[in-house]
Amino acid sequence: MFLENYGFLIVAIVQQALLGMSLWYPLMAGQLSLASIGFYSMGGYIAAIMGTSPAFAAWREALGPALYPVEWLIALAASALLGLAVGIPALRLRGIYLALATIAFVQVLNVVVLVLDVTGGAVGLFGIPQPFESRLGYLWFFGPLLAVMLIFSARLTRTVAGRSFMAIREDELAAQAMGIPTTFEKVRAFVIGCGLAGVVGAMSAPFLNTWNARQSSFDASVACLAYVLIGGARSVWGPLLGAALLVALPEVLRPLKDARLIMNGIVLVVACIYLPQGIAGLLASLRRREVA
């Protein structure tokens, strides 16, 4: 009963957490990028087109369920390549200018999908083939990906690359002075995020049954950023905690009707004022106090 009711919600939390994580990598290198949602949208379109277009009928026939991993790989490759192309010029910008440039990139992508025929224009694509009967089944897609990404992130913080990211975040000039190739590292962090967003998009298209330009709205970008900031930008667990809170809250508060959006807003404001390090930061400080 519980799983039947909340299956979709549970998977949605994991899915949004992964999306938040794609924003977490550039943030780890101190780059405020909102481009993730654009790559998410692109990955989704790749999966939706491969799942519905007559041009890919032969592929679907030949590959069967193996089509899904193929979609992920193509989405990963496409997102990483485009991420590289966007990242190299865009990452010369700093702070708010980078955020603006990435927002512009997402808007351009949106206009492109609205005018193309292959993306279904404003209606988008629908009737995407489903690998699972129940929504909960999609945990087989997102669950392992989340596990892999969590392990990857935890390992990353201990490698040279990860430490370089964090050095850039703390002080870019100092990092450069120490011989860290800052542009290279920033692009690397950005591309990891882009690739992840693309794969999450490719997994999400069948999960939502339909894909359209509204998947990459500005609101969605901001929501992603909120997951990371509320959860804690400095912890591996941040995006997951943030997504769990912000995705579940409006659903759990459903009986409150209109007031639930107000509650959501209040939680955001309170978290911003009192939890500068996010929920993960709060948990860490609690543990420190316990030890002391």
Partner 1 sequence: MRSFIILLAGLFLANTALAEPVGSPIPVGIAVGQTTNVALFGEEQVNGAKVAEKLLNEKGGVGGTPIRLAFQDTGGDEAGAINAFQNLISRDKVVAIIGPTLSQQAFAANPIANQAKVPVVGPSNTAKGIAQIGEYVSRISAPMTLVAPNALKRALKLNPNVKNVAVVYAQDDAFNVSETGIFQEAIKGMGLNITTIQKTSVKDTDFTTQVTAILGAGVDMVVMSCLAADGGNMVKQLRQLGYEGLIVGGNGFNSPNMYPVCGQECTGVIVAQAYSPKADNAENKAFSAAFKDMFKKDPAQFSAQAYTSVKVVVDALNEVEKSSGKKIAEMDTAELRTALNAAIVSSSYDTPLGEIVLDADGEITQKTFYVSQIKVADDGKTGTMELLPE
Binding site for partner 1 (CB under 8 A): 1-5, 7-9, 12, 110, 114-115, 121-124, 126-127, 130, 133, 135, 208-210, 212-215, 250-251, 254, 257-258, 261
Least CB distance to partner 1 at residue 208 (A)? 5
Q: Which is nearer to partner 1, 85 or 123 (CB)?
A: 123
Cβ distance to partner 1 smaller for residue 126 or 184: 126
Q: Could you tell me the smallest distance in angstroms from the CB atom of residue 171 to partner 1?
A: 39
CA-based end-to-end distance of the chain: 43
Nearer to partner 1, 217 or 277 (CB): 217
Question: What is the rounded CA–CA span in Å between residue 216 and residue 24?
Answer: 18
Residue whose CB is less far from partner 1, 69 or 250 = 250
CB of 110 to partner 1, least distance (A): 8
Range list of H helices, the chain: 2-28, 36-52, 57-63, 67-90, 95-115, 139-156, 160-170, 172-177, 182-208, 218-231, 238-252, 259-274, 278-291
User: E strand or H helix at 125, and its extent?
Assistant: strand 125-126
Taking the complex as a whole, the smallest distance from the CB of residue 205 to partner 1 amounts, in Å, to 11
Radius of gyration of the CA atoms of the chain, in A? 19
Q: How near is the Cβ of 42 to partner 1 at its closest, in Å?
A: 17
Among candidate residues 27, 50, 206, the one with its CA nearest the CA of residue 128: 206
The least distance separating partner 1 from the CB of residue 253, rounded to whole angstroms, comes to 11
CA distance 188 to 119: 29
- Of 199, 156, 214, 218, the closest CA to residue 26 belongs to 156
Nearer to partner 1, 31 or 52 (CB): 52
Closest to partner 1 by CB, 225 vs 247, is 247
Nearest to 204 by CA among 16, 50, 59, 7: 16
**Least distance to partner 1, CB of residue 155, Å:** 29
Best CA proximity match to 26, nearest among 16, 34, 18: 34
Contact 80, 194 (CB under 8 A): yes
Looking at residue 119, the DSSP 8-state letter turns out to be T
> Shortest approach of partner 1 to residue 114 CB, angstroms?
6
Which burial class, exposed, middle or buried, applies to 264 when counting CB atoms under 10 A from its CB (0-12, 13-18, 19+)?
middle
Of 191 and 224, CB closest to partner 1: 224
Residue placing its CB nearer to partner 1 in the complex, 191 or 223: 223
